[in-house]
Amino acid sequence: MRIYGENHGMSQDELSRQLGKFTRQKISDIELGRRNISKEVAKKLSLIFNVSTDRFI
């Protein structure tokens, strides 16, 4: 997820806004492997970054 954000010039704050109800801390926890990505969030990420949900699950 971090790589996609960096490739799109998107900060953790911007990504958290686009995901809705997500804090920057939750984004950081996902990037560090402390939190899993749910199917719902994977779907949102796939739309934001225009890639398959398989990239995040």
Report the pLDDT value the prediction gives residue 49, as an integer from 0 to 100. 96
Residue 57 has pLDDT above 90, yes or no: no
Report the pLDDT value the prediction gives residue 26, as an integer from 0 to 100. 93
Residue 51 has pLDDT above 90, yes or no: yes
What is the reported pTM? 0.88
pLDDT in tens, 9-50: 999 999 999 999 889 999 999 999 999 999 999 999 999 999
Is 50 strand, coil or helix? coil
- Catalogue all structural domains in the chain, each as residue range(s) with its CATH number: 2-55 (1.10.260.40)
DSSP H helices in the chain? 2-7, 12-19, 24-31, 39-49
